[in-house]
Amino acid sequence: MDTAILKAQIIRDKYTKAASFKLETEGNWSLYAGDSFDSINHKEPILIGNGSGIYPLNVSASIRIYFELHNNGEILNMSERHLPMEGCYNFRDLGGFKTKDGRYTKWGKLFRADELSSLTEGDVAYLASIPIISVVDFRAQAETKRYRDNLPSTVQFTYPIAITPGNLSSEGIQANLLKTNIDSHMKHMNRLLVSDPACVRAYRIFFAIIQNNLSAPLVFHCSAGKDRAGMAAALVLYALGVDEETIMQDYLSSKIYLSDKYDAFIAKYPRAEPIFTAKRMFLQAGINQIKRDYGTIMNFLTKELKVDLIKMRRLYLD
């Protein structure tokens, strides 16, 4: 019988930041922890068990913790995918994705998020424990003036790289969209993200930043964390060798995390719901545009965005 790890995840409560461990597996397992992968204490597991279950974890709620799961001869590095931000909805780690050649994206290096203006004191302290040192902001100037980032003191570098087509933040823009076919507009916007010269230039700058050895841990964000940041995350995962369906599922998970953020506006304008969700057809429109224009995603990454695939994988794969 195959006793491999089927599914394992760390979950944090966004308000208390208390951690729990959810596991689907067979056989005996042990879980080790530390405030970095290098500092994990392998002498004493924080939890041992047999088979599947959900278990509370006795770890600090104020700092980020990294975990190592041992199960049936397998070792899996872990942390929470969705960070417990009380003042932010869609803050996620791009670590832990399996690549097509069997490697994993590194935890704690690259993060994607929505706007960071409402981060609480506890949120900021938690991000400082990582520590986040670079922030890329894809929002337009009007957005950044209205909602200024609240950043931890550990941040040394901030990079405003405005991408205008994804700016759907003002009620005026949103109300005007109600007069159009919103699904068609969102597909068109995703095509623009990878074909408009200004957008392509912005993503080229973004990749130059994350290929700098001194940039990470880095978070890149826009207002909702699903369109401009969503396309950036997809392109990063493509560059690292993650398969297309996994990339799509990561994109679609924004629908879950953003469900509470826009309730008031959607209650007022029910037809606006597609603006605030993630649909397969939206990202697929951008992917298809790249393939029409460049033949393959890799051609777009290497020739247009000047991505050094060898360096990217050295920096961000285990």
In the chain, what are the domain boundaries? 1-80, 87-316
Q: Residue 172: what pLDDT?
A: 47
Q: Residue 179: what pLDDT?
A: 58
Q: What is the CATH number of domain 1-80?
A: 2.60.40
CA dist 81 to 61, 78, 250, 295, 305, Å?
16, 9, 10, 32, 27
* Burial letters 137-154, b for 16+ CB under 10 A, else e: bbbbeebbeeeebbbbee
SS3 category, 160: strand
SS3 category, 305: coil
CA separation for the pair 307, 196 (Å, rounded):
18
Q: Residue 261: what pLDDT?
A: 85
Residue with tokens 């398969």: 243
CA separation for the pair 285, 89 (Å, rounded):
25
Q: Residue 2: what pLDDT?
A: 39
Degrees, nearest 5: CA angle 149-18-83 = 35
Q: Which CATH architecture has domain 87-316?
A: Alpha-Beta Complex (3.90)
Are the C-beta atoms of residues 156 and 134 closer than 8 Å to each other?
yes
Dmax (CA) of the chain: 62
Q: Residue 190: what pLDDT?
A: 96
Q: Residue 169: what pLDDT?
A: 53
Q: Residue 170: what pLDDT?
A: 47
Q: Residue 157: what pLDDT?
A: 97
Written as one letter, the residue type at 85 is M
Q: Give the H or E element holding residue 11.
A: strand 7-12
Instruction: Give 219's strand partners.
Output: 111, 135
Q: Residue 269: what pLDDT?
A: 78
Tens-binned pLDDT, residue by residue, of the chain (318 aa): 334 556 899 999 999 999 999 999 989 999 999 999 999 999 999 999 999 999 999 999 999 999 999 998 899 999 999 999 999 999 999 999 999 999 999 999 999 999 999 999 999 999 999 999 999 999 999 999 999 999 999 999 999 999 987 555 544 445 555 556 788 989 999 999 999 999 999 999 999 999 998 899 999 999 999 999 999 999 999 999 999 999 999 999 999 999 888 888 778 878 778 888 899 999 999 999 999 999 999 999 999 999 999 999 999 999
Q: Residue 6: what pLDDT?
A: 63
